[in-house]
Structure 1
Amino acid sequence: MSHGEMAEGVVQSAKMIVGDVDYLDYVNAYVDEDIDVDRQIKRYLAENAGQTIIVCTDIFGGSVNNNWLRYMQQEKNIYLIAGLSLPLLIELVLGLDKQSNENINTIIERATENAKNSVKFCNEIDFEVAKDDF
């Protein structure tokens, strides 16, 4: 879930890469001024009652994230991640699709760590050294 349509774009991009995963969903917040975020979250939870839900929000401490924080404390089946990105979603889907006996916390921790490591300032990469590695 994100401010605006970022969530939709990231989910669509992820599905282009990993395939049309039916459990990968999005909610765009603040695109319709008549629908508040809290109502969107309540509707999503009602539609997915009893399911394990991993929520990725765009900004830690932002209004979308803060609204989910309240529900995370009430519901034991919600896992909340701030910092929505394409690498994060791909890592989550691939980790969940392995269907291993890994704990969901382990899958999320690995996905968030790998997503952090995917952010690079390319101007500071020494491409000569990188060529020698191949």
Structure 2
Amino acid sequence: MNKILLASHGPLATAMKAAAELFTGPTDRIESICAYVDEASMDVGVLIDAWLASRHVNDRWVVITDIFGGSVNNEFMVRMADGGFMLIAGMNLGLVIELVCGLDRLSLENVEQSVEQSRAGIVFCNNLATAGGEDEEF
């Protein structure tokens, strides 16, 4: 089965799962790891190793971390070669929904397309409001 793991500093991953499920419906195909929320989650490497050990051998995973270069992402980067998962940094709701809706068609190409669509959804809206040419103060 194709699945998604959301991983973050603090509770973002769990909140992102809940927000995505508002749009997609409840699913057991999304899991989360929240680092640095309590004493048991202070060692990100231990959290990730426990997740890696718990996976079913036939599952295919996309891991989405909150920020590129952060400790959570870096720990996944170290394990990528042996981990058997695709890794994306820069979690946002549009990306998560896109990937959840496409889990049955999971491929490297589809994941790359989802990342590109997610980038296109990041818009500085003030520029749209001032498209008439006048610079306005906010």
Q: TM-score range by the shorter chain?
A: 0.7 to 0.9
Q: Structure 1: state its 5+ residue gaps.
A: 130-134
Which residue number corresponds to residue 26 of structure 2?
20
* 2:119 is aligned with 1:116: yes
Task: Give distance in 1, aligned partners of 2:25 and 2:127.
Answer: 33
One-letter identity of the residue aligned with 1:80: L
Which residue number corresponds to residue 87 of structure 2?
80
- Structure 1 residue corresponding to 2:98, chosen from 91, 98, 107: 91
Name the % identity.
Answer: 37
Instruction: List per-residue Cα deviations over 1:46-80 (Å, max 9, x = no partner).
Output: 111412121100111110000001111112x2110
TM-superposed deviation, 1:34:
3.9
TM-score, normalised by the number of residues in structure 2? 0.82
Task: Give distance in 2, aligned partners of 1:7 and 1:114.
Answer: 20
* 2:113 is aligned with 1:106: no
Indicate the RMSD between aligned Cα atoms, in angstroms: 1.8
Alignment of 1:6-17 (within 5 A): 6-17=12-23
- Report the structure, 1 or 2, having the larger strand content: 2
Which residue number corresponds to residue 68 of structure 2?
60
Aligned length: 124
SS at match of 1:53: strand
- Structure 2 residue corresponding to 1:42, chosen from 45, 49, 69: 49
Task: Give distance in 1, aligned partners of 2:61 and 2:80.
Answer: 10
Stretches of 4+ aligned residues off by more than 3 angstroms = 126-129
One-letter identity of the residue aligned with 1:28: C
TM-superposed deviation, 1:25:
1.1
Q: Structure 2: state its 5+ residue gaps.
A: 1-6, 133-138
TM-superposed deviation, 1:81:
0.3
